[in-house]
Structure 1
């Protein structure tokens, strides 16, 4: 294990490397924006603005896939490894939560890509993704429901992950958030 030599403000807490931190917070930002667009875009009347919102959603979904693959590769080969913040059952729960988040993010991205390709989604009214499949409304609806369910589960698990980090920081006062501080 490599310990961080980057300490901030006199803290003796080991920190992740800058790339790991950047990839983490970029993922958080993308999830928030994608989820908000996914929940609200259909409130907008049909037209160019609504098409634009869904186009941004699709483009950011592809970007999330890229960030996720980069994050996995970085973590596996280059990222700084820190000692676990917890032991025993809490360590098992934390590890399971992280792997669940990675799996759910992958599932959401794959289902989103399948959804966009099955529809032959038109980006910004300028360029269409190739349509794979018949575009049948019932199948589109099912794919979209699975995508939405996976996205909502991702947000729920991410919320629990964030709540656990806040408990570490403000109840147990173990400075856990310092590890991911930009």
Structure 2
């Protein structure tokens, strides 16, 4: 735990809802990406189907969290002064918008992927199928979903790396803004 000097000014922090939505997004992205990368290693059967079902449900949850984040940020969230100025501020802003766009693309492509397949969730409920189920089209949709997911993870990694540079190289306590 970080002990702060009482004479040192308190670093500005985002509101608790913004912080929780941020870390929920991080956790969901990490879980989804790991499942997406490893579920096909499991032999075909109920466990593999369950993993993919969890992936689809967590993907839908990510969509809800993303919509909530955008709505919260637009109407209620606390806006903090920028941590940087000039080009670094522009890069940070572009990175945040890119992350939102990529997350939206991953969720939409995931929904399209599951719908085109007519995906079966836990053997209980089937996502309504549209289209012919053509294997080449299904593969193309899945490849776009995977590309968007991998780009999201790459940009999120760079975002996290930049935050760590702020915290541990520049020592400007940027991570305090998002600490729980």
Question: What is residue 3 of structure 1 aligned with on the other side?
Answer: none
- Which consecutive residues of structure 2, in runs of 5 or more, have no partner in the other structure? none
Q: Give the superposed CA RMSD.
A: 1.0
1:145 to 143, 146, 159: 143
Correspondence 1:3-152 to 2 at 5 A: 9=4, 10=6, 12-152=10-150
Looking at structure 1, the residues matched to 29 and 130 of structure 2 have their Cα atoms a distance apart, in angstroms, of: 26
Shift of 1:21: 0.1
Looking at structure 2, the residues matched to 139 and 42 of structure 1 have their Cα atoms a distance apart, in angstroms, of: 20
Looking at structure 1, the residues matched to 71 and 142 of structure 2 have their Cα atoms a distance apart, in angstroms, of: 28
Aligned residues: 175
Looking at structure 2, the residues matched to 23 and 158 of structure 1 have their Cα atoms a distance apart, in angstroms, of: 15
Looking at structure 2, the residues matched to 37 and 168 of structure 1 have their Cα atoms a distance apart, in angstroms, of: 31
Looking at structure 2, the residues matched to 121 and 12 of structure 1 have their Cα atoms a distance apart, in angstroms, of: 50
Shift of 1:126: 1.1
Question: What is residue 156 of structure 1 aligned with on the other side?
Answer: 154
Shift of 1:125: 1.0
Looking at structure 2, the residues matched to 62 and 133 of structure 1 have their Cα atoms a distance apart, in angstroms, of: 21
Describe the SS at the equivalent of 1:131.
coil
TM-score, normalised to structure 1's length?
0.95
